[in-house]
């Protein structure tokens, strides 16, 4: 514990949803829910307007739609979120060399190590200035907690939400924590919280009064000792600037269970390619390939294979994942597939060509690889042939709600919805007034998918303009 509140915790407010509201002016002040839009999708983030209806992260999307039927439901745009996150994290690194990112929208900062704060007054001034700078650069709000430890700084930022700042003066920790729910403490989830509630302990103050010996008896030595220290506000963990990645993985949950073995192989190949892209983007290679399969009955299987040396070769990862799949029974259907790489290293062993050929792929594996490269999916029906001289019909394009588009005449916009051969687009950009809605055929040649427009520099347009409902 420090004698001054020089550890800062920044948590951006409803980050994904706030980015969507800032980049789509017509959504300012409206309920916005970001997540998977399929029948098995879950909520990633809900705006504060949506939270008033009871919508929250990790909720099934179907339940969210029932609670908030008039909300705007959008797919995540991670490339834009990363751009905004990079700007915010760069601001934090201007304050101190010790910045510990926890996610795209959350980080600890050691203000003392940066020489910008040594007491309560300078810490508060730094926190307020940071919030103002983030608002000016991105039009987004963040909540700041300041305390003498990481745990308390995080508790403070949560209490400050939304768009606030809370500083916990050293010496006042126990008084502040005492009336709070035990669920406020890191690591106290629903199961532990319920176990404590049955013992008559619902607040942090009651947890401290129970004493270490009683808590050890209730939840075990390690957990009990840790709970007691947290209840007293004690936390000596330092801010760590870099966190070594232990694994890289990607996974997909399917709206409908997959039964076709060839289709399943093809999805594994695609996931392997995506995993390698993420692996290379992190500057790593890895030795162990992991396959994750969640079956129709929610049972989850994992299989792994360790290579002779680290690799970031997509062919090697694809073939290893295909071999692992051969040992998994997918009878009954598959609802989730994942491919990961562990045992990360900062270099790649180049002589892995022999390793790639160690197991010759069978015919099925070749088919799967062909699908990964864009070959058509296999099915039980014969392949349709086109009469000579007739142009092949182009497949109907899919337009997902929230995705970015550009029209040759009307410029940039985003998809509000699509169906029955039509797609509805609202044409607006960050910092503009709410734009106009137009409807097109889904195959309109003048409408194309687009990259997100940058949010940074759009100005502070945090609230809805005058007269906007």
Q: For residue range 157-168, what is the model confidence (pLDDT) as tens digits?
A: 999 999 999 999
Write the pLDDT tens digit of every residue in 141-199.
999 999 999 999 999 999 999 999 999 999 999 999 999 999 988 878 787 888 899 99
Residue 355 bridge partners (DSSP): none
Provide the residue count of the chain: 469
- What percentage of the chain reaches a pLDDT higher than 70? 85
CATH number of 247-372: 3.30.1490.100
pLDDT at 132 over 90: yes
448 CB neighbour count, 10 Å cutoff: 12
pLDDT value, residue 465 = 34
Cα–Cα distances in Å, from 58 out to 61, 186, 196, 257, 290? 9, 18, 24, 21, 25
* Res. 104: pLDDT tops 70: yes
- By percentage, how much of the chain surpasses pLDDT 90? 62
Quick one: pLDDT at residue 346? 59
pTM: 0.72
- CB neighbours of residue 32 within 10 Å: 28
Mean of per-residue pLDDT scores for the chain: 84
The yes-or-no verdict on residue 224 having pLDDT over 90 is no
Per-residue model confidence as pLDDT tens digits over 378-420: 333 333 334 444 444 444 568 999 999 999 999 999 999 998 9
Span 106-134, mean pLDDT? 96
Say what the pLDDT of residue 189 is. Answer: 79
**Which residues face 294 on adjacent strands?**
300, 336
Contact 306, 291 (CB under 8 A): no
What residues contact residue 227 under an 8 Å CB cut-off, 6+ apart?
185, 188, 207, 215, 219
What region does 396 belong to: left with phi over 0, alpha with psi -120 to 50, or beta?
beta
197-208: per-residue pLDDT in tens? 999 999 999 999
Q: How far apart are CA 165 and CA 36, in angstroms?
A: 32
Question: How would you write the chain as a 3-class SS string?
Answer: CCCCCCEEEEEECCHHHHHHHHHCHHHCCCCEEEECCCCCCEEEEECHHHHCCCCCCCCEHHHHHHHCCCCEEECCCHHHHHHHHHHHHHHHHHHCCCEEEEECCEEEEECCCCCCCCCHHHHHHHHHHHHHHHHHHHCCCEEEEEECCHHHHHHHHHHHCCCCEEECCCCCHHHHHCCCEHHHCCCCCHHHHHHHHHCCCCEHHHHHHHCHHHHHHHHCHHHHHHHHHHHCCCCCCCCCCCCCCCEEEEEEEEEEEECCHHHHHHHHHHHHHHHHHHHHHCCCEEEEEEEEEEECCCCEEEEEEEEEEEECCHHHHHHHHHHHHHCCCCCCCEEEEEEEEEEEECCCCCCCHHHHCCCCCCHHHHHHHHHHCCCCCCCCCCCCCCCCCCCCCCCCCCCCCCCEEEECCCEEEEEEEEECCEEEEEECCCCCCCCEEEEEECCCCCEEECCCCCCCCCCCCCCCCCCCC
- Provide the pLDDT for residue 378: 30
List the one residue out of 144, 170, 125 whose CA is nearest residue 11: 144
Report whether pLDDT(422) > 90: yes
Pairing of strands 447-449, 436-441: unpaired
- b/e per residue 373-397 (b: at least 16 CB within 10 A): eeeeebeeeeeeeeeeeeeeeeeee
Identify the band that residue 100 occupies on the pLDDT scale cut at 50, 70 and 90.
very high
Question: Cα–Cα distance between 432 and 444 in angstroms, integer?
Answer: 25
pLDDT at 461: 41
Which residue would you say has higher pLDDT here, 164 or 243?
164
pLDDT tens readout for residues 30-64: 999 999 888 778 899 999 999 999 999 989 999 99
- Say what the pLDDT of residue 102 is: 87
Active-site annotation holds for 106? yes
The CATH architecture assigned to 175-231 reads Orthogonal Bundle (1.10)
Domain boundaries, the chain: 175-231, 247-372
pLDDT tier for residue 281 given thresholds of 50, 70 and 90: confident
Whether omega for the bond prior to residue 162 falls within 30 degrees of 0, making it cis, is: yes
Q: Of the residues 49, 106, 112, 267, which is catalytic?
A: 106
**pLDDT for 359-377, tens place per residue?**
333 333 222 222 222 222 3
């Amino acid at each position: 514990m420090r004698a001054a509140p020089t550890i800062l915790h920044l948590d951006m407010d409803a980050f994904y949803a706030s980015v969507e509201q800032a980049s789509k002016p017509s959504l300012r002040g409206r309920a916005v829910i970001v997540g998977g839009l399929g029948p098995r999708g879950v909520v990633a983030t809900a705006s504060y307007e949506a939270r008033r209806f009871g919508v929250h992260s990790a909720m099934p999307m179907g339940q969210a739609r029932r609670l908030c039927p008039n909300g705007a439901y959008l797919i995540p745009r991670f490339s834009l979120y990363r751009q905004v996150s990079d700007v915010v994290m760069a601001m934090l690194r201007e304050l101190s060399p010790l910045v510990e990112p926890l996610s795209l929208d959350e980080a600890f900062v050691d203000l003392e190590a940066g020489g910008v704060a040594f007491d309560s007054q300078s810490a508060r001034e730094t926190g307020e200035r940071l919030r103002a700078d983030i608002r000016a650069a991105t039009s987004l709000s963040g909540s700041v907690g300041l305390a003498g430890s990481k745990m308390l700084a995080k508790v403070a930022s949560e209490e400050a939400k939304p768009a606030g700042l809370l500083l916990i003066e050293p010496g006042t920790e126990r008084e502040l924590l005492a009336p709070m729910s035990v669920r406020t403490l890191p690591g106290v989830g629903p199961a532990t919280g319920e176990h404590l509630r049955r013992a008559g302990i619902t607040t942090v103050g009651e947890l401290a009064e129970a004493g270490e010996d009683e808590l050890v008896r209730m939840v075990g030595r390690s957990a009990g000792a840790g709970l007691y220290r947290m209840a007293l506000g004690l936390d000596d963990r330092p801010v760590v600037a870099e966190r070594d990645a232990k694994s890289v993985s990607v996974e997909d949950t399917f709206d409908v269970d997959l039964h076709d073995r060839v289709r399943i192989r093809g999805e594994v190949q695609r996931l392997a390619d995506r995993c390698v892209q993420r692996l290379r983007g992190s500057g790593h290679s890895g030795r162990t390939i992991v396959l994750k399969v969640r079956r129709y009955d929610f049972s989850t299987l994992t299989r792994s294979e360790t290579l002779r040396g680290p690799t970031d070769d997509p062919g090697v990862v694809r073939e290893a994942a295909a071999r692992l799949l051969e040992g998994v029974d997918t009878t009954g259907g598959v609802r989730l597939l994942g491919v990961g790489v562990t045992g990360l290293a900062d270099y790649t062993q180049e002589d892995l060509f022999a390793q790639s050929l160690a197991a010759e792929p069978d015919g099925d594996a070749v088919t799967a690889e062909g699908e990964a490269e864009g070959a058509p999916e296999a099915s039980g029906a014969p392949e349709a042939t086109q009469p000579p001289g007739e142009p092949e019909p182009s497949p109907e394009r899919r337009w997902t709600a929230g995705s970015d588009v550009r029209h040759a005449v009307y410029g940039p916009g985003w998809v509000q919805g699509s169906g029955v051969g039509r797609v509805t687009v609202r044409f607006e950009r960050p910092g503009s007034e709410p734009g106009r809605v137009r409807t097109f055929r889904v195959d309109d040649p003048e409408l194309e998918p687009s990259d997100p427009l940058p949010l940074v520099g759009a100005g502070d347009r945090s609230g809805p303009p005058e007269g906007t409902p």
